[in-house]
Amino acid sequence: MTEMAKLAEMLTNARIPFEITYMDKQLFSFGRESVPQIWYPNRKKNVCDVICHKFSYGGDRGLLEMMGLVDNEYDDVEGYLTAEDVFKRISLHYKKTS
């Protein structure tokens, strides 16, 4: 199971709202697979989004890149994250704001 699939499953099981869209697979894919992008809580009013593709930080290792809810004070993007890393940040934010 990919890190993106793990993250989607964790968010679903925790009943945390999110939306999945798909990026242009010819441009972003390593092969012919779909390239999902997860938006929390949704694309229109997102707090963060998560990607994993051939240009993302950690994508070559199957790891996730996150924009928003990052621990890095110098950048809005953080990479090389696992599904568990991302889930902890989203879950903490969701609990604080709901």
Residue 65 contacts residue 50 (beta carbons within 8 Å)? yes
pLDDT tens for 35-63 read 999 999 999 999 999 999 989 999 999 99
Q: Provide CB contacts within 8 A for 63, sequence distance 6+.
A: 3, 52, 57, 79, 80, 81, 82
- Asked if 65 and 59 count as a contact pair (C-beta separation under 8 A), the reply is yes
Q: Which residues in the chain show pLDDT less than 50?
A: none
pTM of the predicted structure, to 2 decimals? 0.91
User: What residues does each domain of the chain span?
Assistant: 3-97
